[in-house]
Structure 1
């Protein structure tokens, strides 16, 4: 087991040195000597403390959880094979086929990181938020204030916990009923494709018991597709901001990339730029 932990730390260090800061969404300044990510940058991306990342690299931190390993794999933009290697080096089984994947391919992370002026959130098939940029945090609030297991859009819409409390008020151009129906239909489709996923089963059972609205849509909804929507989001600092919302499906990864934009020159584009520049500077990007 000691050699396994040592191997885990060596992999972290090697893959941290390999990743370009620009590809991770950081501005590269003149005189930078680190060949890849600094330790504090990896900690920020993974939502961990710098001290914990240091102890992991040195083999002093024992038995990282699957959640921690998954966050590090996403932050390091690992391929699926590399992700599985990182899990095994931590003494953990990699995520199994037939269950929902929270892996975000490196190319998708690079693409989203280079669109920093656009709020972007990446969701898994069960609508768990698995990646976001700082502009998303400025618009919707910092996701790290919500426990990782509860960063789920369906929980926020239909639940009663901290995830719902963190959801900022919004209106959909198509109406709330159409929006929630589409989310429920997505979950029904996910259940049909991932029947062995116990986490998804627990989520659906919880929401059916916690929300009469969810239970009604679960019993009556038919197939529904997300279309381009226009949403009005009530921001605590700038008031209402009206944005086009597009949901882009990532082929082969079963991910949903949600992006918000406004027409150039519009007052809403000015508000979005204000948020990008002066928004919640304490917010973190990417779990």
Structure 2
């Protein structure tokens, strides 16, 4: 497929101008003359240089890679149809939809953008964190640093002992069973050639504990409403976890809250102060 430079530039400009700062969790500020978002704001949301993004709107520069197009689609909070159109304009075939998709829907993103001071994350059915709030990063670590199978918490749980340090030791055994149970259910939904099945095969070769819990064939286990974390900076945190699901993309928004007036609530406020912006 060939890139449609004029169509790409016009579509990017139209999408950018249709968004307001508050739509994407940015402050409006004063003396704003731009209709919609500024180019540098979209570039920041897309994790690229302002010069690179500006060249696309000016019909210049090299053809953007699939990764760059995906980042722009996410930064502009595009719907799946808009994302697919953007890929075609850029000269690429659109990525898969559904369970294999890494594109977070705009509805979930709009909610996430309004939770900047609350620990929250968007995860796949394999436990891969796709987006985090600032407080989500402070609580759970920076998911953007993880690559390959280690993007999945389930994979890290059984292959990296350090992954369990954040969770209360009394919960480890049940969480192991819960991860195996959930993965077995995903494989039943997605089939033996799915990413879930490949993850299970990998864990069967790597972890004796996984082999043991996998052999029990448990299904239907669910984590409790309260998650207990042992945070390296503030200690024990007992957090309620609310879940909002996007069935079209098989993604879940997890929001962690503390009872007002509780010790955990005070610790979260402290964590918000020490967290890196």
CA distance in 2: counterparts of 1:121 and 1:98, whole angstroms:
19
Higher mean C-alpha displacement, 20-29 vs 220-229: 220-229
Q: Which has the larger radius of gyration?
A: 2
Instruction: Give matches, 1:219-234, under 5 Å.
Output: 219-234=215-230
Q: Is the 8 A contact 1:185 1:222 kept in 2?
A: yes
* Pairing 1:95–2:92 present: no
Contact 1:228-1:246 at 8 Å conserved across structures: no
Residue 78, structure 1, aligned to residue 78, structure 2? yes
Separation in 2, partners of 1:83, 1:127 = 23
Per-residue deviation, 1:263: 0.7
- What is the TM-score normalised by the length of structure 2? 0.84
Moved more, 131-140 or 42-51: 42-51
The 3 A distance-change label for structure 1 pair 264 and 101 is same
Shift of 1:47: 3.3
Distance in structure 1 (CA, Å) of the matches to 2:149 and 2:88: 22
Q: Is the 8 A contact 2:117 2:134 kept in 1?
A: no
Structure 1 residue 143 displacement after superposition = 2.0
SS of 1:22's equivalent?
helix
SS in 2 for 1:220: coil
1:255 aligns to 2:251 (yes or no): yes
Contact 2:99 2:250 in 1 (8 A): no
Q: Which residue of 2 aligns with 1:152?
A: 152
Q: Which moved more, 1:256-265 or 1:272-281?
A: 272-281
Corresponding residue number in structure 2 for 1:69: 69
Choose 272-281 or 3-12, whichever is displaced more: 3-12
Matched, 1:60 2:61: yes
Distance 2:212 2:9 in 1: 49
Instruction: Quote how far apart the aligned CAs of 1:149 are.
Output: 6.6
**CA RMSD between the two structures:** 2.8
Question: CA distance change for structure 1 residues 97 and 212 in 2, over 3 Å: closer, same or farther?
Answer: same
Q: Shift in Å at residue 43 of structure 1? A: 3.3
Q: 1:169 aligns with which of 156, 166, 171?
A: 166
- Counterpart secondary structure, 1:23: helix
CA distance in structure 2 between the partners assigned to 1:269 and 1:32 by the alignment? 36
* CA distance in structure 2 between the aligned counterparts of 1:45 and 1:214, rounded to whole angstroms: 38
Aligned to 1:276: 272
Q: TM-score, normalised by structure 1?
A: 0.82
Q: Contact (CA 8 Å) 2:2, 2:90: kept in 1 or not?
A: no
2:191 aligns with: 195
Q: 1:55 to 1:263 in 2, by over 3 A?
A: same
* Unmatched 5+ stretches in structure 2: none
- 1:266 is the counterpart of 2:255: no
Number of aligned residues:
276
Residue 27 of structure 1: how far off its partner (Å): 1.9
Q: Quick one: which of 227, 233, 242 aligns to 1:246?
A: 242
2:35 alignment counterpart:
35
What do residues 73-109 of structure 1 show as CA deviations (whole Å, max 9, x unaligned)? 2222111111111122222222335652323221221
2:124 match = 124
Q: 1:211 aligns with which of 201, 207, 210?
A: 207
Runs of at least 5 residues in structure 1 that lack an aligned partner in the other structure: 282-287
Moved over 6 A (4+): none
Q: How far apart in 1 are the matches of 2:143 and 2:53?
A: 20
The C-alpha deviation readout for 1:13-64, integer Å capped at 9, x for no partner, is 3322222221211122222233333334333333334444344444413241
d(CA) in 2 for partners of 1:16 and 1:127? 31
